[in-house]
Structures are given as C-alpha cells and as structure tokens.
Amino acid sequence: MSTFQAPKGTYDLIPPASATYLAVREALAAPLRRAGYGYVETPGFEHTELFARGVGESTDIVTKEMFTLTTKGGTELALRPEGTASVLRSALENSLHKLGNLPVKLWYSGSYYRYERPQKGRYRHFSQVGAEAIGAEDPALDAELIILAVDAYKSLGLRNFRLLLNSLGDKECRPAYRAALQDFLRALDLDDETRRRIEINPLRVLDDKRAEVQKQLTGAPLMRDHLCEACKAYHEQVRELLTAAGVAFEDDDKLVRGLDYYTRTTFEFVHDGLGSQSAVGGGGRYDGLSEMIGGPALPSVGWALGVDRTVLALEAEGVELELPAATQVYAVPLGEEARRTLFSLVTELRREGVAADFAFGGKGLKNAMKSANRSGARFALVAGERDLAGGVVQLKDLESGEQSPVALDAVVAELGRRLG
C-alpha cells in the first residue's frame, strides 16, 4: 500500500468501474455530436475573477467552495468549479462568435472542483458533460438542449428522472420581482449571512435547502406573477416545444439553480432514488453572462450533466449497461517461438479491431488460462512447439470449453467470423 492516499472528497476511477463512467460520458455526449455541437476543452484552472464575475460573488461556489491559488507572480487562479464561464471565455478569446455562424454550439467533458463537505453523490472532484449554445435567443434552442439531455438519459436506460422547469425573467421584469422578494425576505427571521444575500441576490435565498428557511418561504412572491409579456411568451414556447417532443416536465416556481447568471429558462433533472442529493444535471439560459465577463451581448443557453450522479442513478434503478468487452481474445504462448508467433497474431488482431491481450511474464499454462478467464475474454489462443510445427494454434471457446486447431494464416479471419 502506498504512503499516499487520494485527497479527501476525491476518488480514483479504476477498472472495471471506470468502464461504466466512460460509457456514461459517451452516452451523454452522443446526442450533442449528432446535433452539431463541436468539442471544446479548456484549462483546469482559470483566473479567479472569471468565476467571481460570471458565477456570482454571492454564490456558495465563489464564497465558500472554490479552490484558489496564487502563482509566484501574484496571479490569483482557481480550479474550475463549473464549465460555462470557461467555455464562454474560450469562445470569446478565440472569436468563435465572429465566424458568422451563430449559435456557436460546443460540448465539453472534464473534472471540476468544489470545496464542500464530502458525501455520497457529492465530491470535491466530480465529472460532468456539458453543452453550450452561444449567440442566439430562441426558445427552440432551449428546447433542443433539454431534449438532447432527456434523450441521453433515456439511451442509458434511465426512467425515473424528472425534469423541473422555471423562468427567471430578464432584465426588464426581474428588477420589480427582485424588489418584491427583498421586501418579503427582510421581514423573515434569517441569519446574518442570509440577510446579506438578500441584498446581493435575493433569488438565491429561494435555493436555500435548510428546512428552517424553506418553512418561512411559504407565501413568497413568485417570478411567474412578475414575468413580462415577452418572457411569458418565450417560456410558453419552450413548454410547447417540449410537449410536442413528448418530454414531460414539472413547473417549479422556486427553481433558481445555484448560479447567478441564469435568465429566463431554468431547468434541473432530479432522480428521487438519490436521496437529498437528487440533482443529476441542469442548466438554463444566461443572456447577460458575456457582458459580465467583458464580451459583447451574446444570449446563450447551456447545461451540465453529472457523470457521477448519473452513475448513481443507474445503480439506484438497477440498470446495468452493456459495455464493450475489454478483452475478446487472450493469447497463451508455450515456449519462446510461440511467444513471438502469438505476439504477432495479437498485434494483427488489434489492428483489425479485435480487443486482444497476451499472457505476459512467461506464465505457465494453468496461470495463463486463469488470467484469460479473469480478463473476460471469449476466446483463448494457445500454442506450443507441436502446434506451430503443424502450422496451427488451438482456439478455445472459454464459454463452452470447446477447442479446435486453426491454421495460423486463418486465425484472424476465423476470429472475425466468430466474433461477428
């Protein structure tokens, strides 16, 4: 055992469990690629100010949860706590919005970091697949992203997730709602930190998960009662498009998510099998974020889906993914000449797209066959001096136990036929 262990709140992804995580990432990304989203990858750390401006100085993410560091030159950096601000920064820096084809549609996958109390389903290091559509204000774009997420979840076999939907209005109608909400909240019995939040971003108080706070929020003003006509019409179009696509949703008037940049459409996917940490993904529209970080007006919408949370949801439903075999063929050489011959065969099989492995380390037949069975291989190739003298290798079906000689020059074709 090593002297060192993974830091608290983090984890290692190791086989065979890591294969499930890879399959989930692929399933979440596949609908995006089919819809014209291109892959983007950003640094694991950014200037702290990017998140302070974009995510919001009143959020728990910025005030309590960011991992920050100061370089030798005095620059303040932060490990990325979320993906949207980084992706938008990259799009602006690389002038993707000037190429004349809006919206810019991007997807990404990676690790993110937040300093919070570790618990099941909530880690200090976590993995997400995200998508952003930058530079267009269109309810069809909001609906598209939501539908792509729903299709991704369903492709994995998930069934017991729910979509919560809300509208947070825009710069025209939110100020009046903000004022009404502040008046209501100031009359409540709240702690000093929450009272400070009322003055910075009162909507965040609605997102407070503490029972003693939620109890007092009964009768709080609702955004839906303050939406302007344009926001009402926009939200209704999103709802109609989702309904037409067969996507079920629940209206949630208190859904604000945990980030300050959201406007209009806001949504969250929850799974009731995960307990208190029920969110598996979510997102929304962020029409003013580009200006917040120094860019031009670029109305945008996006989401992030948690890979870790999705894996937990699959486990809660008892869904087992059909994973590609890590090894289909395992080669067992008996003697030096067989090592050279079978190693060449394994290389050829791999180049033909067959997952093949080799008994390294000079294992005897018994131990090598144990390794073949542990690898999950369907077939074993076994060869000794007598086999090679006859120009054959033994092909053993590890499921049925049947074994038969196959000519050396026909091995690749025969395995291709048997593996389909």
Provide the CATH number for the domain around residue 360: 3.40.50.800
Whether residues 271 and 340 fall in one domain: no
Q: Is the pTM of this model over 0.85?
A: yes
Whether residues 282 and 408 fall in one domain: no
CA 211 to chain centre: 29
Helix, strand and coil in the chain, % to nearest 5? 40, 20, 35
Whether residues 299 and 382 fall in one domain: no
Please report whether residue 115 resides in a domain: yes
Long-range contact list for 185-190, CB < 8 A, 24+ apart?
A: 185/220, 188/216, 189/216, 190/216
The DSSP annotation for 213-251 comes to HHHHTTT---GGGT--HHHHHHHHHHHHHHHHTT---EE
Last residue of a domain, one of 317, 342, 359: 317
CA 97 to chain centre: 25
Please report whether residue 44 resides in a domain: yes
Whether residues 337 and 313 fall in one domain: no
Residue 98: predicted pLDDT: 93
Please report whether residue 213 resides in a domain: no
Q: Is 37 annotated as a binding residue?
A: no
Q: Is 261 annotated as a binding residue?
A: yes
Q: How many domains does the structure of the chain reveal?
A: 2
Please report whether residue 195 resides in a domain: no
Q: Is 84 annotated as a binding residue?
A: yes
Whether residues 246 and 350 fall in one domain: no
Residue 193: predicted pLDDT: 84
Can you give the CATH number for the domain in which 158 is found?
A: 3.30.930.10
Q: Is 46 annotated as a binding residue?
A: no
Whether residues 36 and 146 fall in one domain: yes
User: What are the phi and psi torsion angles at 146 (to 5°)?
Assistant: -65, -45
Residue type, 301: V
Please report whether residue 361 resides in a domain: yes
Whether residues 300 and 354 fall in one domain: no
Distance CA 50, CA 89 (A): 8
Residue 57: predicted pLDDT: 62
Distance CA 254, CA 212 (A): 16
Whether residues 143 and 276 fall in one domain: yes
Last residue of a domain, one of 261, 284, 317: 317
Strands 279-285 and 300-306 turn out to be antiparallel
Distance CA 127, CA 151 (A): 20
Distance CA 50, CA 173 (A): 26
Whether residues 269 and 162 fall in one domain: yes
Before 103, cis peptide (omega within 30)? yes
Per-residue CA distances from 75 to 42, 46, 48, 57, 93 (Å) = 18, 10, 9, 19, 19
Please report whether residue 324 resides in a domain: no
Residue 259: predicted pLDDT: 64
Closest by CA to 111, choosing from 123, 102, 98, is: 123
Q: Is 320 annotated as a binding residue?
A: no
Before 175, cis peptide (omega within 30)? no
Q: Is 114 annotated as a binding residue?
A: yes
Please report whether residue 299 resides in a domain: yes
Distance CA 123, CA 101 (A): 38
Whether residues 235 and 282 fall in one domain: yes
Q: Is 82 annotated as a binding residue?
A: yes
pLDDT, one tens digit for every residue, the chain (420 residues): 678 998 888 889 998 899 999 999 999 999 999 999 999 999 999 999 998 887 766 566 676 788 999 999 999 999 999 999 999 999 999 999 999 889 999 999 999 999 888 777 678 899 999 999 999 999 999 999 999 999 999 999 999 999 999 999 998 888 888 888 888 999 888 888 888 888 887 887 887 778 888 888 888 888 888 999 999 999 999 999 999 999 999 999 888 876 667 889 999 999 988 876 789 999 999 998 999 999 999 999 999 999 999 999 999 999 999 988 889 999 999 999 999 999 999 999 999 999 999 999 888 899 999 999 999 999 999 999 999 999 999 999 999 999 999 999 999 999 999 998
Query: Structural domain of residue 343, as residue ranges?
Result: 329-419
Whether residues 348 and 256 fall in one domain: no
Residue 1: predicted pLDDT: 65
Last residue of a domain, one of 265, 289, 317: 317
Whether residues 308 and 394 fall in one domain: no
Please report whether residue 6 resides in a domain: no
